[in-house]
Structure 1
Amino acid sequence: MLFTLADLFHKVSEGNWQGQISFYPSAKRFDFTDLESYCDQLKSRLDSQANLKFGDAVLVTDEPTPQTLANMLYLWSKGAVVVPVRHTMSEQARLAIAQDCHASVCLHGDSLIRLDTLNKNQDKVFLNQQVKPTFNIKTERRVSGSDLALIIYTSGSTGKPKGIMLSHANVLNAMFSIGNYLSLHPEEHILCLSPLSFDYGLYQLLFSLAYDCQLTLFEGDFHPIKVLKALELSQASLVPVVPAMASALAKMIQTFKKPLPHFKKLTNTGGHLAEDNIRLLSELLPQLQIFAMYGLTECKRALYLPPEDSLRKLGSVGVPIPGLEAKIFNPVKGEKESVFNEVEQGEIGELFIRGASLMQGYFGMANAGACILAGDYRDDNWLATGDLFSQDEDGYFFFKGRSKDLIKQAGFCLYPAELESQIELHPNVFLCAIVPHKDRWGDEIACLNVQLINPGVEQEKAFRDWLTTQIEDNYRPRQLIFIDELALTQNSKVDKQHLMASLSTG
């Protein structure tokens, strides 16, 4: 029985874990015999170089290595808060995250990096904030479900990171709910293509540890031919993807006519799975169960489409996951308080969710992204997702758009206003605007439109080079267009509607 993520450490260290974790293509392996030696080394480094206390946040880079897994498990066992970050992230972006969550240590593989963080005494704004008592504890602390386990940053490359706080209970509730509808079992073999700093990738690790599954961590960047080869060699039964991966993988399977009889389940997040890809995969691999899903890091997962409905309810992201309530509301003006009315069948409104997997809030700020509305008691909270949905006569949810200024590119949330502010720091940028667009597979991407002060081929190249050093790959707009003069509205703002119309007709 698991009550916290610390119990996963004990399960592995005591030899009760029956799963297996391997790495592709290096063929390295991780098992419980490795954990003891890794943790002894880590304990020695922490004791000598860092005064780690219960509840401290620690950055952990996400290289797919046994050391990274050991780092996370050991920290959870000691009551620390794991803050996973991309190992390719710039030092500036990493320091911004460390300053935000007051972390003074980063575990980078088998190295411990001291961080000169600031603002350690800044006030933190939490939900239901009140004056907190001080407890002077003299004995060893014990990890509980209410302790923070993770702080996941969704836009840490922009200088204004948003740290989503998740307790051990939040994570376990989401993990068991997802594991329930995926019917995970010890014979499952998961091929993980997403980084461990992305909650989608991290949960594949947790599934392996909790359900004794076999897990193969893909070590390189996504490449459809290499992934297809990994899928064949590993004999994986479950592959979690984002839409762009699904599109490319479907085309490779079709081109090389691979039957892949062991490939039984495909899950999707990070955007809408194209209907053509669902049809194509269902035709190519009749045994494949396709789980179209919707979620956001603030609650991990909200909706899923049962695979038996993938063709019958094409275009839907399904029904609420087990243990979670989802409703569509529209606000109405109340005299003294906010009032939300549930919409009628077929009517469009904003999706609200409620359940035990709902985040604790944003570290150091209140309602910085999705908004939490408090109910009648501590855990009676609704999350206003900012996303627009409708429901059909059977109660299935259909995504209609976003009411907030957010672009979801390959599973990563991009906040245009923040990115634009950073890009406009370039001395040769006069104006810029980021708008949503579609790539050739129909997946949502960000399009950056730039008006330079001094245009020219050399200046454009210099700007491209600068952009790659300032914004991490996952958060960098996939499309860049240089425009002689950006159209403005009557209020002298960049006319984004004009830009989007131009893209759709271009």
Structure 2
Amino acid sequence: MLASDFATLPDLIRAHARGQGDKIALAEAGGELDYAGLDALMDRVAAGLQRDGIAQGSPVAIIAAASIEYAAVFLGALRAGCVATPLAPSSTGEALVAMVADCGAAITFIDADAATTLAGQHVPGKLVHLKSLATWLAPEGSVPAPVTIAPQDGFNIIYSSGTTGTPKGIVQSHAMRWAHIARNAAAGFDSAVTMIATPLYSNTTLVSFLPTLGWGGTVVLMKKFDARGYLQLAERHRATHTMLVPVQYHRIMALPDFDSFDLSSFRLKTSTSAPFSAALKADVVARWPGMLLEYYGMTEGGASTGLNATAHPDKLHTVGVPLPGHEIRLIDDEGNEVAPGEMGEVVGRSPTMMTGYHGRSEATAAAEWHDADGNRYIRHGDVGRFDEDGFLILMDRKKDLIISGGFNIYPTDLEVVLRQHPAVSDCSVIGVPSEAWGETPVGFYVLDTGVAASAEEIRQWVNTQLGKTQRLSELHAIEELPRSAIGKVLKRELRDRLAGEDA
């Protein structure tokens, strides 16, 4: 089946259940489930959805922390031909209700924390609590009515983080997810024990979670990430694969006793979703066994790049080269391609592009760029350039570019320098309005434990390392940078914080 041109994930799991039914598919702190058990549970979920009148093609919303029950509902919805729609439980109750209404889900599965968040809210459709899932499920032995799934049918709707505005539902097809699974033929997922320490509503997580199950490996779920707990779980399960975001790598590598854990079973570590500093990559390569791959891409699809940090220690400042079948071009503000070596906005195309934003044709069109031959590309929103070897160097998010006195300032350039100060453990730079310059850079930093330095001392030190037009006008200490669940710094919250202080 994996050698075919197209297969669905529910069918792959059924094949594994028949061929290796006693192999563990899902594990968590409280238990585990083998492939035969997962297949049967998916049948009961699918039959339950059909019993409740949830039609093929309908969204099924899930608001919960990662768990075996969550995974079974997600996969069971796919078996019924429905569109899995995982939503971020960290969102406000109002935002969650808006997303459920936007996608049109007639049924929503929630856990206890989500129930608290939604208290007093009117959620459209039916609510099912995962704690009472057993009473909702179709009876044991139930088999759903078979459905035929076409490659372009909806697999899932992933909502954007909303860090730059109202979250948009990104529709991804079974064909796209099949491409994610099939392209990992050489990644060893058939014998993998994959640590999942990021939320299941995130595409970051799904690009490891889905191939592991598609190839018949084992997924180990963490409800909530903490660095030492992660290492203990990885050691206990003899983990071989993982996907972590850069801030998680940072917290793990900073543990004083990191080197005391036996991580020799690891074969592949991956990262995506946020800037990954060259120094941190080098530390992971040096002290953590197994290959380190960094992926750059976006939930909407576009194109992705990959950097084998283990094999290219001289390219750690880049995000690698386009993956096979992926194409990236760089364009200027007028939509024209830039000359080789010049900076431009990243646009990409690949077999893994979104169908579009759910119910938002104008937003879909705004996210697209077409070349002279009419080929469709997705705008990544990043500015970058290719080096002489074809490795992509990202400068910054286009929206985060600071224009001060007519000069372009890339916050990442300033953050690289700020992070080098021994008193700084984490940092971010934003642009704020300035009467004199139009915009001016302002920094935020988290003080490293046990190191004494004032904000002004650090600011002056940083400014001696920067060009005259790049210098920080202000620097503020902060206990912790606001981040999304997958590690992206929420710069809008930093701007709001400054605005609140100035009010």
Query: What TM-score do you get using the length of structure 2 for normalisation?
Result: 0.70
Cα distance, 1:117 vs structure 2: 3.6
Pairing of 1:189-204 with structure 2 (within 5 A): 189-204=193-208
Change (3 A) 1:365 1:261: same
Alignment-derived partner of residue 376 in structure 2: 381
Q: Is the 8 A contact 1:190 1:239 kept in 2?
A: yes
- How far apart, in 1, do the equivalents of 2:234 and 2:486 lie? 25
Cα distance, 1:175 vs structure 2: 3.3
Q: Secondary structure at the match of 1:292?
A: strand
Q: Is the 8 A contact 1:97 1:156 kept in 2?
A: no
Q: Is the 8 A contact 1:165 1:360 kept in 2?
A: yes
Alignment-derived partner of residue 463 in structure 2: none
Cα distance, 1:65 vs structure 2: 2.5
Cα distance, 1:314 vs structure 2: 1.7
- How far apart, in 1, do the equivalents of 2:390 and 2:255 lie? 35
Q: Is the 8 A contact 2:43 2:76 kept in 1?
A: no
Change (3 A) 1:40 1:7: closer
Change (3 A) 1:12 1:298: same
Change (3 A) 1:67 1:394: same
Query: Is 1:210 equivalent to 2:214 in the alignment?
Result: yes
Query: Is 1:102 equivalent to 2:98 in the alignment?
Result: no
Q: Secondary structure at the match of 1:404?
A: helix
- How far apart, in 2, do the equivalents of 1:154 and 1:247 lie? 24
Cα distance, 1:56 vs structure 2: 0.7
Task: Write the deviation string for residues 113-170 of structure 1: whole angstroms up to 9, x where unpaired.
Answer: 997549xxxxxxxxxxxxxxxxxxxx97511101011110013699832000101111
Cα distance, 1:70 vs structure 2: 1.9
Q: Secondary structure at the match of 2:399?
A: coil
Q: Secondary structure at the match of 2:49?
A: helix
Query: Is 1:76 equivalent to 2:71 in the alignment?
Result: no
Residue 341 (structure 1) aligned to one of 337, 356, 372: 337
Task: Write the deviation string for residues 231-287 of structure 1: whole angstroms up to 9, x where unpaired.
Answer: 2111112221111101111122665543521123221111121222122222223x4
Q: Is the 8 A contact 1:96 1:156 kept in 2?
A: no
Cα distance, 1:438 vs structure 2: 5.8
Residue 351 (structure 2) aligned to one of 331, 346, 356: 356
Alignment-derived partner of residue 150 in structure 1: 156
Alignment-derived partner of residue 162 in structure 1: 168
Alignment-derived partner of residue 138 in structure 2: none
State the AA in 2 paired with 1:203.
V
Change (3 A) 1:33 1:9: closer
- How far apart, in 1, do the equivalents of 2:253 and 2:221 lie? 20
Q: Is the 8 A contact 1:3 1:144 kept in 2?
A: no
- How far apart, in 2, do the equivalents of 1:73 and 1:481 lie? 40
Cα distance, 1:51 vs structure 2: 1.9
Alignment-derived partner of residue 465 in structure 1: none
Alignment-derived partner of residue 227 in structure 2: 224
Q: Is the 8 A contact 2:346 2:379 kept in 1?
A: yes
Cα distance, 1:301 vs structure 2: 6.2
Q: What is the total number of aligned residue pairs between the two structures?
A: 403
Alignment-derived partner of residue 27 in structure 2: 23
- How far apart, in 1, do the equivalents of 2:40 and 2:182 lie? 30
Alignment-derived partner of residue 35 in structure 1: 38
Alignment-derived partner of residue 134 in structure 1: none
Cα distance, 1:298 vs structure 2: 0.5
Alignment-derived partner of residue 63 in structure 1: 65
Pairing of 1:34-433 with structure 2 (within 5 A): 34-35=37-38, 37-39=40-42, 41-43=44-46, 45-48=48-51, 50-87=52-89, 89-108=91-110, 117=124, 142-155=148-161, 160-177=166-183, 179-180=184-185, 183-219=187-223, 221-252=224-255, 255-258=258-261, 260-285=263-288, 287-299=289-301, 302-332=304-334, 340-345=336-341, 347-366=342-361, 368=363, 371-374=367-370, 380-404=375-399
Query: What TM-score do you get using the length of structure 1 for normalisation?
Result: 0.69
State the AA in 2 paired with 1:266.
K
Alignment-derived partner of residue 129 in structure 2: none
Task: Write the deviation string for residues 194-234 of structure 1: whole angstroms up to 9, x where unpaired.
Answer: 11111122232212211222221112x22111111112111
- How far apart, in 1, do the equivalents of 2:258 and 2:68 lie? 35
Change (3 A) 1:301 1:239: farther
Larger deviation: 287-296 or 60-69? 60-69
Cα distance, 1:367 vs structure 2: 5.2
State the AA in 1 paired with 2:340.
E
Change (3 A) 1:301 1:382: closer
Q: Is the 8 A contact 1:228 1:252 kept in 2?
A: no
Larger deviation: 268-277 or 139-148? 139-148
Larger deviation: 383-392 or 321-330? 321-330
Cα distance, 1:10 vs structure 2: 3.2
Larger deviation: 56-65 or 255-264? 255-264
- How far apart, in 2, do the equivalents of 1:51 and 1:303 lie? 42
- How far apart, in 2, do the equivalents of 1:157 and 1:117 lie? 24
State the AA in 2 paired with 1:148.
G
Q: Secondary structure at the match of 2:105?
A: coil
- How far apart, in 2, do the equivalents of 1:45 and 1:343 lie? 56
- How far apart, in 1, do the equivalents of 2:45 and 2:279 lie? 48
Higher relative contact order (CA 8 A, sep 6+): 1
Q: Is the 8 A contact 1:9 1:73 kept in 2?
A: no
Q: Is the 8 A contact 2:21 2:36 kept in 1?
A: no
Residue 502 (structure 2) aligned to one of 486, 502, 505: 486
Q: Taking every aligned residue pair, what percent have the same amino acid on both sides? A: 22
Structure 1, unaligned runs of 5 or more: 119-138, 333-338, 409-415, 417-433, 442-467, 488-506
Q: Secondary structure at the match of 2:329?
A: strand
Q: Is the 8 A contact 2:281 2:309 kept in 1?
A: no
